[in-house]
Amino acid sequence: MKAGITTVCVHKGLLPPDYEKSFADVWKFATADDVGKAAKDWPQINFVIYHSALRPFLELPDQAWAEFEASGRIKWASDLADIPAKYGVTNVYADLGTSFANSAVAHPKFCAAFVGTLVKGLGADHVVWGTDAVWYGSPQWQIEAMRRLEIPEDMQKKYGFAPLGDANGATKQAIFGLNTARLYRLNLKAADAAPMPPYSADRLAEVCDAINATGYGLTLGIHSRIDETAKFIRDRVQVGNVYVNRNQIGAVVGVQPFGGEGLSGTGPKAGGPHYLFRFATERTFTVNTAAAGGNATLIASSG
Q: Map the chain to HEC letters.
A: CCCCCCEEEEECCCCCCCHHHHCCCCHHHHCCCCHHHHHHHCCCCEEEEEHHHCCCCCCCCHHHHHHHHHHCCCCCHHHHHHHHHHHCCCCEEEECHHHHHHHCCCCHHHHHHHHHHHHHHHCHHHEECCHHHHHHCCCHHHHHHHHHCCCCHHHHHHHCCCCCCCCCCHHHHHHHHHHHHHHCCCCHHHHHHCCCCCCCHHHHHHHHHHHHHCCEECEEEECCCCHHHHHHHHHHCCCCEEEECCCCCCCCCCCCCCCCEECCCCCCCCCCCCHHHHHCCCCEEEECHHHHCCCHHHHHCCC
Lowest mean pLDDT among 35-39, 46-50, 109-113, 188-192: 188-192
Confidence of residue 101 (pLDDT cuts 50, 70, 90): confident
Chain centroid offset of residue 294 CA? 24
For residue range 111-166, list pLDDT tens digits in order.
999 999 999 999 999 999 987 766 676 788 888 899 999 999 999 999 999 999 99
pLDDT at position 270 is 46
Report the share of the chain in percent with pLDDT over 70. 83
What is the mean predicted confidence (pLDDT) over 56-83?
A: 92
pLDDT at position 267 is 52
For residue range 169-221, list pLDDT tens digits in order.
999 999 999 999 999 988 888 767 777 677 777 889 999 999 999 998 888 98
Confidence of residue 298 (pLDDT cuts 50, 70, 90): low
For residue range 239-276, list pLDDT tens digits in order.
988 888 877 766 665 556 566 788 876 555 444 455 55
Residues 6+ positions from 63 with CB-CB distance below 8 Å: 17, 56
